[in-house]
Amino acid sequence: MEGETAETLRVLLVILAAAFLAPLVSDRIARWVVVPATVLEILFGIALGPAGAGLIRETEAVAMLSELGLALLMFMAGYEIDFARIKGRPLRRALLAWLCSVALGMAIAAALFGASRTALIIGLALTTTALGTVLPMLRDSGALGGAFGTRFLASGTVGEFGPIVLIAVLLSGFRPAEGTLLLAVFFVLAGLAAWRATRPPSERLGRLLRATLGTSAQLAVRLCMLLVVLLVWLASSMQLDALLGAFAAGVIVRLMLTTNHPQEAEAVESKMDAVGFGFLIPVFFVVTGVRFDLGALLADPPVLLLVPLFLTALLLVRGGPEYLLSRGELAGAERPALALFSATGLPLLVVLTTIGTESGALDGAVAAALVGAGMLSVLVLPQAGGALLRRAEARPDGPARG
């Protein structure tokens, strides 16, 4: 037992060192190329894992921390959703674009892999948007304000939540009718929790939430973590995807804070950013690199060609409908920028490839090609999209950021 604990601590030490170095390296090379720290974390995981130096192996404790990091990534994505901002036309357009993506994705996957479970998993993967991964980039650059920010929030919300729902219905192991019924029960329970969150809390609880933001008690942060674990456990107990619970927890916490504690919402978000992006989320990205089967990908050159093919498919399936259906809402370079940001996909690709490999629907090489395309999407597409947004802002009649 002591040996296992020591090994876990050694592995965690290497992971945290990689997470610490990632933003330093990102800052150092920024004069030549902008590489998000998340991509560097994955690359460090590949280099330090079994495919590289072999310094990291996945222990049970490290795997648990990684899963919690993914849950917090989904929580932060759910927390960013401002339904009052995206409701109406932006959300309707985003939903229509995503439904078009589902049809395109399934058609392309069926053409490549036939009518099979493999095609179902690939098709679902092509409909995702890496909202949780891209949001920090856009928030740090100030691009979430204005019409573009509203439209991308709507697109990302549907592109992250929609695939999670389909995963729960189609890949949960139940028949679709049973999966839909369980999903409906979960939504009812989450809806009741959201309704309760908008009710005024007890005076004592409200006072403690405010008073402990600067003390060691940190009641608001503890409440957030409690809701994350509670809803993840609830979704898992119902054999639904755990990410559904994490996403719902983020939405509920935002509703609670903006309704009853608007002055404290920014402080709580900052503290959850510290817990998530300061510790657990980088662990998830490094472990994603550790799990990446580079050997299987390089051992099969024809499969290696699937990486650019999947990346192109992401652009076509997610970016194409968003570009076409943003006409009249966005102008100039903002439309292709929306298409590029919407075509990013990574966290749910990791989830889907894990489901596929564990069920035997995907072999290691195809799964690695899909994750590789997702890595390239969050590396390349936001850079191109960001350049387009900067060009649009530099124009005299360019959009103002709010």
How confident is the model at residue 106, as a pLDDT?
93
264, exposed or middle or buried, with CB in 10 Å at 0-12, 13-18, 19+?
A: middle
How confident is the model at residue 108, as a pLDDT?
93
pLDDT, one tens digit per residue, over 185-200 is 887 877 787 777 777 7
Spatial distance between the Cα atoms of 163 and 243, rounded to a whole number of angstroms:
11
370, exposed or middle or buried, with CB in 10 Å at 0-12, 13-18, 19+?
A: buried
How confident is the model at residue 127, as a pLDDT?
94
Q: Which residue has the higher pLDDT, 312 or 146?
A: 312
Asked if residue 95 has pLDDT above 90, the reply is yes
Closest by alpha carbon to 244, among 314, 176, 184? Answer: 184
Residue 281 in tokens = 């989320």
Give, to the nearest 10 degrees, the angle between helix 176-197 and helix 146-170. 130
pLDDT category of residue 402 using cuts at 50, 70 and 90: very low
Q: In whole angstroms, how far apart are CA 334 and each of 139, 140, 322? A: 16, 18, 11
Spatial distance between the Cα atoms of 55 and 49, rounded to a whole number of angstroms:
6
Q: What is the pTM of this model?
A: 0.83
pLDDT category of residue 356 using cuts at 50, 70 and 90: confident
CA 397 to chain centroid, in Å, comes to 33
pLDDT category of residue 353 using cuts at 50, 70 and 90: confident
The segment with the largest mean pLDDT, out of 96-105, 112-121, 238-247, 389-398, is: 96-105
How confident is the model at residue 286, as a pLDDT?
92
How confident is the model at residue 219, as a pLDDT?
86
Asked if residue 206 has pLDDT above 80, the reply is no
pLDDT category of residue 102 using cuts at 50, 70 and 90: very high
Closest by alpha carbon to 381, among 56, 24, 25, 129? Answer: 129
Residue 327 phi, psi dihedral angles, 5° rounding: -65, 135
pLDDT, one tens digit per residue, over 2-59 is 677 888 889 999 999 999 999 899 888 877 777 778 888 989 999 998 888 888 888 8
Asked if residue 70 has pLDDT above 50, the reply is yes
Domains in the chain: boundaries: 2-394
Spatial distance between the Cα atoms of 371 and 390, rounded to a whole number of angstroms:
29
- State the amino acid at position 234 in one-letter form: L
Residue 109 in tokens = 């996957």
pLDDT, one tens digit per residue, over 249-304 is 888 888 888 877 777 777 888 888 888 889 999 999 999 888 888 887 888 788 88
How confident is the model at residue 321, as a pLDDT?
95
Residue with the two structure tokens 């008073």: 211
Q: Residue 327 pairs with which residues in a beta bridge? A: 330
- State the amino acid at position 328 in one-letter form: G
The segment with the largest mean pLDDT, out of 166-180, 257-271, 302-316, is: 302-316
How confident is the model at residue 394, as a pLDDT?
63
CATH code linked to domain 2-394: 1.20.1530.20
